[in-house]
């Protein structure tokens, strides 16, 4: 029966191939969308990994995550340096990285931090930050660029940049008197780090020594060189990342921070907060999946049409088989089998197409979006999706098959061609 179905299909190769191609394209599309969707979610969920707690002034968890990690919006309040040093010294704390935000460079956020940031910040599957060129900052006026900053602004090592007070794109308040020099460019990560200019906390202090409440103190200009010799220990920072010695201690430390007496603080688990944030933006991804499911339906409808158009031609085939003693069930089975074979062939071709496209695009996608598209075998979800498409294909084939079955019964042995 399989041989018969295959030979019959080969006879109608062009129609069959087109039908399979339609299905292949829909399958490739739905799987591709699914892949990008899950990789995006994956990459998003692991924007920060290896960090046990993020601590900032008392605020909502998502708000803290947004400004501390995604550099969106501003902190409602700062954390005092004293609090930071005290918490960092707690016995459960393995490492800590302070973050100071508030300045920008041509639209990109500037983040004051310490060299520990490069040592402890992890993203994705515990990837450490890597330098595409140069090294971490060392001097007060050294800057390290994220990959996107360097690419968009065309900066290289040694470029001098001027930071802007505040986060506006056009600054009336440039820190022109204290330019920074690019000493390092990070490799792409697909996280907000790519769009960040990192400088030392001392650098942030230095450009603000002659400022107060957001404006320059008139007549109190301090030169870059003079600033070097001043005390550049910050008074406040925006937030800090904590790594604990044991993850078991996470909730205990979180509670202690939330109950911290000297200052109202909030500590969040990055994974949990990222999950909450994803749920906010997840509607778009559901819409995307819905669209690709519709594409598959269109593909299947195309297959039903193709099968129906060959039906007239195949009545003759069916009548011959009937005359030879074939039960109408066989006629039904042949058509359903054909639909199944076409869907299956379409799925195989679709998978091949998807992997080919993935292999071709993954380099560019990594460079452009920092999204690591793995050439992994189909996930259980994808396998289930393929199974569902196959079932849908067989069901779609059952419609013309049922018609053929009834006609085969009604036609008798006459071929009204």
What is the binding site for other proteins (CB under 8 A)? 7-8, 10-11, 316-317, 320-327, 412-415, 417
Nearer to other proteins, 103 or 317 (CB): 317
Strand partners, 216: 211
DSSP 8-state assignment for residue 243: E
Q: Cβ closer to other proteins: 222 or 331?
A: 331
Report the nearest approach of other proteins to the CB of residue 414 (Å): 4
* Cα 101 from Cα 283, distance rounded (Å): 30
Cα 150 to chain centroid distance, Å, stands at 21
Locate 236 and state its tokens.
């406040």
> From the CB of 4, what's the least distance to other proteins, in Å?
8
CB of 36 to other proteins, least distance (A): 42
SS3 labels along 332-383: HHHHHHHHHHHHHHHHHHHHHHHHHHHHHHHHHHHHHHCCCCCCCCCCHHHH
User: SS in 3 state form for 82-127?
Assistant: HHHHHHHCCCCEEEEEEEEEEEEECCEEEEEECCHHHHHCEECCCE
Q: Which is nearer to other proteins, 229 or 416 (CB)?
A: 416
Nearer to other proteins, 241 or 326 (CB): 326
Q: How far is the CB of 325 from other proteins (least distance, A)?
A: 2
User: Which of 13, 39, 180 is closest to 111 using CA atoms?
Assistant: 180
From first CA to last CA, the distance across the chain in angstroms is: 25
User: Which CB sits closer to other proteins, 8 or 167?
Assistant: 8
Residues composing the chain: 417
Of residues 210 and 317, the one with the C-beta less far from other proteins = 317
Contacts of 186 (CB under 8 A, 6+ apart): 129, 130, 131, 132, 144, 145, 146, 147, 193, 194
Please report how close the Cβ of residue 13 comes to other proteins at its closest, in angstroms: 10
Shortest distance, position 323 Cβ to other proteins, whole Å: 4
Q: How far is the CB of 17 from other proteins (least distance, A)?
A: 15
Residue with Cβ nearer other proteins (230 or 320): 320
Q: Where are the strands (E) in 43-92, listed by range?
A: 53-57, 79-80
């Amino acid at each position: 029966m399989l041989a018969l179905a295959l030979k019959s299909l080969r006879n109608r190769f062009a129609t069959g191939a087109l039908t399979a191609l339609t299905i292949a394209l829909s399958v490739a599309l739905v799987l591709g969308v699914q892949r990008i969707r899950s990789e995006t979610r994956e990459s998003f969920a692991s924007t920060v990994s290896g960090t046990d707690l993020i601590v900032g002034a008392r605020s909502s968890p998502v708000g803290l995550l947004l400004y501390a990690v995604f550099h969106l919006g501003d902190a409602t309040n700062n954390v005092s340096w004293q609090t930071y040093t005290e918490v960092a010294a707690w016995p459960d704390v393995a490492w800590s990285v302070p973050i100071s935000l508030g300045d920008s460079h041509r639209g990109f956020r500037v983040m004051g931090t310490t060299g520990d940031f490069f040592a402890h910040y992890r993203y994705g599957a515990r990837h450490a930050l890597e330098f595409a060129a140069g090294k971490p900052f060392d001097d007060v006026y050294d800057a390290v660029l994220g990959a996107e900053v360097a690419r968009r602004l065309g900066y290289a090592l040694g470029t001098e940049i001027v930071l802007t007070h505040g986060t506006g794109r056009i600054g009336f308040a440039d820190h022109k008197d204290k330019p920074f020099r690019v000493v390092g460019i990070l490799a792409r990560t697909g996280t907000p780090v790519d769009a960040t200019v990192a400088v030392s906390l001392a650098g942030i202090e230095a450009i603000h020594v002659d400022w107060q409440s957001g404006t320059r103190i008139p007549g109190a200009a301090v030169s870059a060189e003079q600033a070097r010799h001043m005390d550049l220990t910050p008074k406040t920072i925006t937030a800090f990342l904590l790594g604990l010695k044991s993850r078991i201690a996470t909730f205990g430390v979180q509670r202690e921070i939330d109950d911290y007496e000297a200052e109202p603080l909030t500590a969040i688990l990055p994974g949990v907060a990222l999950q909450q944030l994803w749920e906010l933006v997840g509607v778009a991804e559901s819409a995307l999946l819905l669209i690709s499911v519709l594409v598959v339906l269109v593909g299947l409808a195309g297959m039903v049409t193709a099968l129906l158009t060959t039906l007239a031609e195949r009545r003759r085939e069916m009548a011959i088989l009937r005359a030879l003693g074939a039960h109408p069930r066989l006629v039904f089975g042949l058509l359903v089998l054909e639909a199944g074979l076409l869907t299956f062939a379409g799925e195989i071709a679709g998978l091949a197409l998807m992997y080919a496209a993935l292999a071709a695009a993954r380099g560019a996608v990594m460079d452009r979006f920092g999204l690591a598209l793995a050439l992994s075998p189909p996930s259980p979800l994808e396998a289930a999706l393929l199974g569902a498409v196959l079932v849908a294909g067989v069901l779609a084939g059952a419609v013309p098959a049922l018609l053929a079955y009834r006609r085969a019964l009604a036609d008798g042995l006459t071929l009204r061609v």
